[in-house]
Amino acid sequence: MTHREKADMLLRRQYHCSQALFGAYAEDFGMDLQTAFKISTCFGAGMRQGDICGCISASLMVLGLAFGFYDAQDREQEMYGNQKTREFMEKFRQRMEGEMTCRDILAHDITTPEGRMVIKQAGLILKNCPRPINHSIDILDEMLAEYGREESSIAGAGGHWPLEELSDQEEMRAIMKQNSKRNLFRRNVSELLFSSRQSIAFIQFDIRRFKIINDLYGERFGDEVLYYIRSQLKKICGRRQYFLNLRSDVFMVVTEFETEEKLLDFVHLVENTISVFKNVQLQFSFGIYIVEDKNMERRQMEDRAAMARKSAKKDVVSHIVFYQTQFKELLYSRKFIEEGMQAAIDDRQFKMYLQPKYSIAKSRIVGAEALVRWIHPDRGMIYPNEFIPILEENGFIRQVDYFIWEEASAFINRCVGAGITDCPVSVNVSRIHLQDDACQKVLGEVIAKSGIPKELLELEITETVNDQQISRKAYELKEDGFRLLMDDFGSGYSSLNILLETPFDVIKLDKKFIENMMVSDRGKLILEQVVTMAQKLELGLLAEGVETAEQVEALRRIGCDLVQGYYYAKPMPPEEFFALLKEDRNI
């Protein structure tokens, strides 16, 4: 039976809406109906007072169980939970056309004897309640399916489950099962920290150059590698040793140990067991954090293991790195950013800066790139390389990008009002936007609000992105009338493939790519051929990070006319750029 069918059956058996809806999902969580009824009754107080619709209470409980919002120490999950709660409430409000309470839906007050009598005599529950129940179930199933696709995308399907081969109900259960594994891992780790008298270590590891493995052998092979690692960890890890595939090729093992020597023996055992798959040699980076204070937030412990792992990826001497005290500054910086990012949006601490783009031949401004800066009231300027990676990890980059899109559109509108209609502004579209439909809706709203031509708001997509879904989204944005720029061309492994699969209008040559190509005659020849290729493909070409007169001359000589970089101008506040632009246009 579908969730709708189960809920309808329970409603007709005269269970109230909260019980019917939550009961429809009970089996997915391994819960019997009686337990589900008791829980939903406890949390249905708003419904009994005629206030919040019981479907809302039940739906938020489903989301909480599915996504694991219960751990107050997990700030990332807490923020994600708040986001999903707001998302559900907004969708429910829209589909119910603003009706959010039992009084609205039943048109009578369920808390008064008179109201209950009318509701019962007119059969209003069976008549009116299926509508909010069905809308709630539709929204829940959409959100759970979207979450499953996000998890699958993040993990490269990671051997989790082939969602396209499952029915809707099987898909829901697969998603619940994966979330259940995460929640079980967290509970086991918490119990281990509480009860163990031995030392405890958080070990985080990943596969070095896993993206190349996917590119060379295909994503299905990459999925098999991840499944193989999980199956081997299941064999290796004994009692009171817990593991989880966090995302993609990143794994976490939490174990108790007697001595540091024995801990390293365990790490080497893991490495030796999973180092070869189907004759392909796998190399790993291990980060280890030995717990000093068991009362520390578990997330901090995980972060310290993650910092050690990232350090191991850069270490040329050893691929196994223990967390060191000096990493604390990075941890504090991350915590500062995560705790301050919402206030930065609310208090408008994030600022848009604009960096001009120039034509070498005309020595004229031909556009600008919108960049974000964080001006903190106490710490002053915080640069993007300090906070962007963290915001991309926790998903908050969406809100920052939305803010910059609005600011850029407002600036373009200002330019058009001043008679400047030939200065497009490009904005960044993070990978996370291209994995859902929200960005198209937001971009449409931003364009409608500002009233600017779409072609003046250009969209930059990072070159390293290589994903069929993202290519499809790019085509949809192109069909919507936006100009697309490939950012950081030459920085990844699949530049030419992406050119083939994604409808870019302009490619932006990466700063390091240009620097590397200009140090030898062979490099200059390659750069010259890239320019020729762009011309034959009728693509615009812009060189980023141009800092010297020699670079400008070399680019001019090979036919690359558009440039951006400190040689011409640094990123600047909008007022400064507007003054510079008016001077450039003789206004």
- Tens digit of each residue's pLDDT (9 = 90 or more) over 219-229: 889 999 999 99
What is the Cα–Cα distance from 522 to 39, expressed in whole angstroms?
70
What is the CATH classification number for the domain harbouring 548? 3.20.20.450
In DSSP terms, which residues pair with 252 in a beta bridge? 204, 244
For residue 166, is it within any domain?
no
What sign for the dihedral angle of Cα 185, 190, 196, 201? positive
**Boundary residue ending a domain (273, 296, 323):** 323
443 located within any domain = yes
The whole-angstrom separation of Cα 459 and Cα 391 is: 19
Tell me how far CA of residue 354 lies from CA of 110, 391, 564, 571, 581, in angstroms. 57, 21, 11, 5, 11
- Together in a domain, 346 and 318: no
Question: Within a domain: residue 435?
Answer: yes
Question: Are both 314 and 355 inside the same structural domain?
Answer: no
Q: What is the pLDDT of residue 572?
A: 96
CA–CA–CA angle 88, 44, 83 (5° rounding)? 20
In angstroms, the CA 51 to CA 105 distance is: 10
Tell which wins on pLDDT, 325 or 585.
585
Chain centre distance of CA 194: 32
pLDDT in tens, 104-161: 888 888 778 888 888 888 888 889 899 999 999 999 988 887 765 544 433 333 334 3
Domain annotation covers residue 260: yes
CA distances from 299 to 22, 78, 296 (A): 30, 12, 8
Higher per-residue confidence, 181 vs 340: 340
Contacts of 292 (CB under 8 A, 6+ apart): none
pLDDT, residue 465, reads 46
Does one domain contain both 360 and 479? yes
Could you tell me if residue 480 is inside a domain?
yes
Question: Residues 395, 318: one domain?
Answer: no
As given in the structure block, the two tokens for residue 491 are 């920085």
543-560 residue pLDDT tens: 999 999 999 998 999 899
Q: What percent of the chain has pLDDT over 90?
A: 44
pLDDT in tens, 264-320: 999 999 999 999 999 999 999 999 999 999 888 888 899 899 989 988 887 767 899
> Per-residue pLDDT for 248 more than 80?
yes
Residues 6+ away with beta carbon under 8 Å from 45: none
Output the CA–CA distances (angstroms, integers) from residue 466 to 150, 200, 212, 455, in the order listed.
Answer: 15, 39, 12, 24
pLDDT value, residue 45: 53
167 in any annotated domain: no
State how far Cα 509 lies from the chain centre. Answer: 25
Task: Write the CATH number for 212.
Answer: 3.30.70.270
pLDDT at residue 85, rounded to an integer: 86
Q: What percent of the chain has pLDDT over 70?
A: 86
Domain annotation covers residue 94: yes
Question: How high is the pLDDT of residue 78?
Answer: 66
Whether 165 maps to a domain, the answer reads no
Cβ 46 vs Cβ 40: under 8 Å: no
Q: What strands lie across the sheet with 199-207, from one edge to the other? A: 241-247, 250-257, 199-207, 284-290, 320-322
Say which residue, 338 or 330, is predicted with more confidence.
338
Query: In this structure, are 417 and 523 located in the same domain?
Result: yes
The total number of structural domains that make up the chain: 3
When pLDDT is averaged across residues 200-217 and rounded to a whole number, the result is 90
The pTM (predicted TM-score) of the whole model is 0.55
Residue 550: name the closest of 526, 524, 529 by CA.
524
**Residue 161 identity (one-letter amino acid):** W
Both tokens assigned to 98: 């603003």
Q: Do 524 and 422 lie in a common domain?
A: yes
Q: Do 144 and 250 sit in the same domain of this protein?
A: no
pLDDT digits (tens, 9 = 90+) for 409-424: 999 999 999 999 999 9
Task: Give me the domain span that covers residue 132.
Answer: 3-154
Q: For position 474, what pLDDT does the model report?
A: 81
What's the pLDDT score for residue 152?
Answer: 40
**491 and 366 assigned to the same domain:** yes
* Tens-place pLDDT, residues 63-101: 888 776 655 555 556 666 777 888 899 999 999 998 888
Shared domain for 550 and 408, answered yes or no, is yes
pLDDT of res. 219: 85
Report residue 374's pLDDT band, with 50, 70 and 90 as the boundaries.
Answer: very high
Any idea which of 214-223, 226-235, 510-519 has the lowest mean pLDDT?
A: 510-519
- Section 550-571 average pLDDT: 92
The overall average pLDDT reported for the chain is: 84
Listed residues 296, 323, 350: the one ending a domain: 323
For residue 426, give the nearest of 357, 513, 500 by alpha carbon.
357
Q: Do 563 and 420 share a domain, yes or no?
A: yes
Beta strands 276-277 and 280-281, pairing class? antiparallel
Q: Residue type for 11, please? A: L
Identify whether residues 212 and 348 lie together within a single domain. Answer: no
State whether 376 and 517 are in the same domain: yes
Question: Where is the domain boundary, 119, 154, 189?
Answer: 154
In tens, the pLDDT along 426-481 reads: 999 987 887 777 888 899 999 999 999 999 999 998 755 445 666 778 888 888 89
Query: Span 388-396, mean pLDDT?
Result: 86
